[in-house]
Homo-oligomer: A and B are copies of this chain.
Amino acid sequence: MNAVTFELKKTDRSTKARLGEVTTPHGKFATPVFMPVGTAATVKAMRPEEVAGLGAGIILSNTYHLYLRPGHEIIREAGGLHSFMNWKGAILTDSGGFQVFSLGDLRKITEEGVAFRSHIDGSSHMFTPETSMAVQNALGSDIIMAFDECAPYPADRAYVKQSLERTTRWLKRCKDAHLATETQSLFGIMQGGMYRDLRKQSAEEIVALDLPGYAIGGLSVGEPKDLMYEVLDDCVDHLPQDKPRYLMGVGSPDCLFEGVERGIDMFDCVLPTRIARNGMAMTSVGRVAIKNAVHERDFSPLDPNCGCDTCRNYSRSYLRHLYKSNEILSSMLLTHHNLYFLVHLMEQIRESIEQDNFLELKKDFFQKYGRF
């Protein structure tokens, strides 16, 4: 029995959009879902009960960061990540692969794995498929991700092909190394860059391993959005209907709509939390840069159509004051709003699929909001 299971509840009549439910050892959540990111065992500037209160049933945390600080053995001793950070819902951890590849000169790839230096203190480390599984097993997250290589964009075809084939070999090693299948489920990751035939090859190779879920990696890495959507259109058709599909690192409102339309069930992105700390809000009337002078005497809420705590209790004028004064409460209130915005956007999207009007919701949204 897999730790994590997926039930497909409905597929939209006119698009590939679908409704589902994921069951994990730490609760169920409806899909399509947006997963807030809690890199270092905290969704920045939020208490965990506040994240849960927004309606988020699953968050993402980063293996690379937790491995380096505080160290996965400490988290294991704490009883796992859920206990360590006081989060009662589900957790997905990435494999650490994306972060170590992002280190550039500080890392070296071999068939065995990736040797790298810590961005914190320069110390030397090695991540392999087996290490990544061992670390994620110690963390105790509900969904663990395969150790893959996310090829850069642009990358030539020969490189992408050998990289995705290595990713498949690494996935087999991950599957062999991951024994705790009744408490944690391993998701495979499709690669293949912007090459349709390589995407197909990657999908076939990973789907053959019959995993509880599949992710699409290597998108939103700098390519134009239209190209991403084009590749995505094709990708999903190579994945099984009865397993959840997770589009990694994507979470702007327009990408959420486009992804859902193409049959994606799960998303994550640092965007809402990161821009919040920089004073940017996602609202039903478009992006708002709170530092702008126009908000100085604006005593109306950040988003006139929002029911979140921030919009019910504080004015743009106050939020601008907090941001200009470098007050921590600025990050707290804007993060709360942005996560509420995305979590509730996904709720509306699910309702629209239920009510057979997804494309109308999408059209309305873009008319009000513009492209992000």
Contacts and interface: CB of A to CB of B under 8 A. Distances in A.
Contacts of A86: 313-314, 318
A78 B45 contact: no
- The range of chain A's interface size is 20 to 34
A47 B47 CA distance: 11
Nearest to A46: B329
Interface of A: 40-42, 44-47, 69-70, 74, 77-79, 84-86, 296-297, 299, 313-315, 317-318, 320-322, 324-325, 327-329, 331-332
Contacts of A320: 70
Q: In the complex, which of the residues A44, A45, A315, A328 has the most CB atoms of chain B within 10 Å of its own CB atom? A: A328
A41 B321 contact: yes
Nearest to A321: B70
A325 B47 contact: no
The 7 nearest A-B residue pairs measured at CB = A70-B321, A45-B328, A42-B329, A86-B313, A40-B325, A42-B327, A84-B318
Q: In the complex, which of the residues A85, A324, A325, A331 has the most CB atoms of chain B within 10 Å of its own CB atom? A: A325
Contacts of A79: 299
User: What's the dominant secondary structure at chain A's contact region?
Assistant: loop
Given A41-B322, A44-B328, A78-B299, 13 more contacts: A40-B322, A41-B318, A42-B322, A45-B328, A45-B329, A69-B325, A70-B317, A70-B320, A70-B321, A78-B317, A84-B318, A86-B314, A332-B332
A70 B332 contact: no
A327 B40 contact: yes
A315 B315 CA distance: 35
Q: In the complex, which of the residues A79, A86, A331 has the most CB atoms of chain B within 10 Å of its own CB atom? A: A86
A78 B318 contact: yes
Nearest to A66: B321
A90 B24 CA distance: 46
A329 to B, nearest CB: 5
Contacts of A299: 77-79
B329 A331 contact: no
A78 B320 CA distance: 13
B70 A296 contact: yes
A320 B75 CA distance: 13
A47 B315 CA distance: 14
A332 B40 contact: no
Nearest to A325: B40
A276 to B, nearest CB: 11
A40 B331 CA distance: 15
A304 B70 CA distance: 23
Nearest to A299: B78
Given A297-B74, A325-B69, A327-B40, A47 B318 contact: no
